[in-house]
């Protein structure tokens, strides 16, 4: 049975949370959005903009913002979590306590892309540990090639609603779909979340190649071998190999490695031009998920004895201060391999 909902709570008012909230308003939902910062709430309610995250975008007047999480969650039938991975556990915990106290029974959806640093857990695993257990199996991950800047302009976007609970995924598909935002379902939430998290690492590399002046051959090679190693670790962690040729796999890898909108690509580009990691982070003012996910992926790969040379090289650059040119030279001069032994 497909669930129809009217009231939506969006938790996280960065670029992605704001644009997804706006889609749902356009789709006829009553949407409230939570931000921890009152100045941002006031801007959203009075100016209908969110300039720090989305320049030149006007959001719907019907989108209501609040810094009171309880008020935002009131009567919510769908809760969308769209905060950076590092904030997810704390936010999910607060949401979990409130939905239990308020006796709510919403579909829980998240739109974030990363792995938790210390535990290496996926986003839906983090959330399921922090909310009442009756919701855990129905968590939906919304993921795929999608930049807030383009979706805000109603550019055509196709993404995936992934959940081990197919009915929950179908409900999310129906709630979000419109003429410019097409949603597929997928039961392989493991593969979808891992593809989403790992592509950010490869995008850092693609940006770095650009910053150093390398061309299209290098970019294509990085994306191809990057996909191979992403899939290798993903399969070891329980993903369906076919998921990596879907929207959340190669689709998101392509857009993040080629779009000037990508924060991960832009961060890599700045690193390639010689900027220091701390300066890149300070300059961006928005989340660069790949910088933390690369550490989690590197540690997972070591633990599982999975070969991930590109991830390892980017880890060495970001966390060990290795020169990017040295890392590239080392990658190029690894012993010769057979492409047939990728998996
Ligand atoms: N921007 C996109 O186009 C896009 C597209 C798809 C997925 N995503 C994913 O969505 C997630 C959110 O990204 P974004 O682009 O909206 O980020 P952003 O940097 O634009 O905004 C992050 C928001 O989270 C808030 N925040 C940060 N730390 C917080 C904390 N500790 N507690 C509460 N709130 C906190 C910030 O104030 C801000 O409102 C990321 O995982 C990202 O990979 C982004
Ligand atoms: O701007 P990025 O690099 O965080 O990427 C945003 C989305 O994940 C692209 O699909």
**Domain locations in the chain?**
7-187, 195-341
Instruction: Let me know if 180 is exposed, middle or buried by CB neighbors in 10 A (0-12, 13-18, 19+).
Output: middle
2, pLDDT greater than 60: no
User: Which ligand places an atom closest to the C-alpha of 203?
Assistant: 2
Catalytically annotated residue among 62, 199, 305, 337 = 199
Neighbours of 150 (CB within 10 A): 17
pLDDT digits (tens, 9 = 90+) for 119-146: 999 999 999 999 988 888 899 999 999 9
| 276 catalytic per annotation | no
d(Cα 178, Cα 261) in Å, to the nearest integer?
23
Residues in CB range of 212: below 8 A, 6 or more apart: 272, 273, 324, 325, 328
Residue entry with tokens 């915990």: 93
Tell me the CATH architecture of domain 7-187: 3-Layer(aba) Sandwich (3.40)
Q: Which two tokens stand for residue 156?
A: 């055509």
pLDDT digits (tens, 9 = 90+) for 156-208: 999 999 999 999 999 999 999 999 999 999 999 999 999 999 999 999 999 99
| DSSP conformation class of 310 | H
d(Cα 162, Cα 216) in Å, to the nearest integer?
32
Whether 74 and 81 have beta carbons less than 8 Å apart is answered as: no
1, pLDDT greater than 90: no
| Among the four given CATH numbers 3.40.50.300, 2.60.40.10, 1.10.1040.10, 3.40.50.12780, the one describing domain 195-341 | 1.10.1040.10
Q: Which two tokens stand for residue 4?
A: 């129809």
pLDDT digits (tens, 9 = 90+) for 240-264: 999 999 999 999 999 999 999 999 9
Ligand 1 shell residues, CB under 6 Å = 12-17, 35-36, 53, 82-85, 87, 91, 111-114, 146-148, 286-287, 289
Whether 288 and 294 have beta carbons less than 8 Å apart is answered as: no
Find the 43 Cα to ligand 2 centroid distance in Å: 24
ipTM of the complex: 0.98
Beta strands in 2-105 (DSSP E): 7-11, 30-34, 64-66, 78-81
Q: Is the pTM of this model over 0.90?
A: yes
Annotated binding-site members for sn-glycerol 3-phosphate: 113, 144, 146, 199, 252, 262-264
Candidate from 11, 13, 14 with most ligand 1 atoms within 8 A of CB, to mutate? 14
Annotated binding-site members for NADPH: 15-16, 36-37, 53, 113, 148, 263, 287, 289
d(Cα 281, Cα 119) in Å, to the nearest integer?
23
| End-to-end Cα distance, the chain | 39
With a 6 Å cutoff on the Cβ, whether 146 touches ligand 2 is yes
Find the 150 Cα to ligand 2 centroid distance in Å: 11
d(Cα 58, Cα 126) in Å, to the nearest integer?
33
């Amino acid at each position: 049975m497909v669930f129809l909902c009217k009231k939506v709570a969006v938790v996280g008012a960065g670029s992605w949370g704001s644009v997804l909230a706006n889609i749902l308003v356009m789709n006829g939902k009553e949407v409230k959005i939570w931000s921890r910062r009152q100045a941002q709430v006031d801007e959203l309610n009075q100016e209908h903009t969110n300039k720090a995250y989305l320049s030149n975008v006007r959001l719907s007047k019907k989108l209501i913002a609040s810094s009171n999480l309880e008020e935002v969650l009131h009567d919510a039938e769908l809760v969308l979590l769209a905060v950076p991975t590092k904030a997810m556990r704390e936010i999910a915990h607060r949401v979990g306590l409130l939905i239990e106290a308020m006796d709510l029974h919403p579909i829980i959806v998240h739109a974030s892309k990363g792995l938790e640093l210390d535990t290496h857990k996926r986003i839906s695993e983090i959330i399921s540990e922090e909310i009442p257990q009756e919701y855990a199996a129905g968590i939906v991950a919304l993921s795929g090639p999608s930049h807030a800047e383009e979706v805000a302009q109603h550019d055509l976007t196709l993404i995936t609603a992934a959940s081990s609970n197919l009915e929950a995924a179908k409900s999310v598909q129906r709630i979000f779909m419109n003429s410019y935002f097409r949603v597929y379902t997928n039961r392989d939430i493991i593969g979808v979340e891992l593809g989403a998290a790992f592509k950010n690492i490869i995008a850092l590399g693609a940006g770095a190649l650009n910053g150093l002046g390398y061309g299209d051959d290098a970019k294509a090679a990085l994306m191809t071998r990057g996909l191979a190693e992403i899939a290798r670790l993903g399969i070891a962690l329980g993903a369906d190999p076919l998921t990596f040729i879907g929207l959340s796999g190669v689709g998101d890898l392509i857009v993040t490695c080629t779009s000037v909108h990508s924060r991960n690509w832009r961060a890599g580009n700045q690193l390639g031009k010689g900027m220091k990691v701390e300066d890149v982070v300070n300059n961006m003012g928005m989340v660069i998920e790949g910088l933390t996910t690369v550490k989690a992926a590197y540690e997972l790969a070591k633990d599982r004895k999975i070969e991930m040379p590109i991830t390892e090289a980017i880890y060495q650059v970001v966390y060990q201060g290795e020169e990017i040119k040295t890392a590239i030279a080392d990658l190029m001069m690894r012993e010769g391999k057979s492409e047939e032994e990728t998996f």
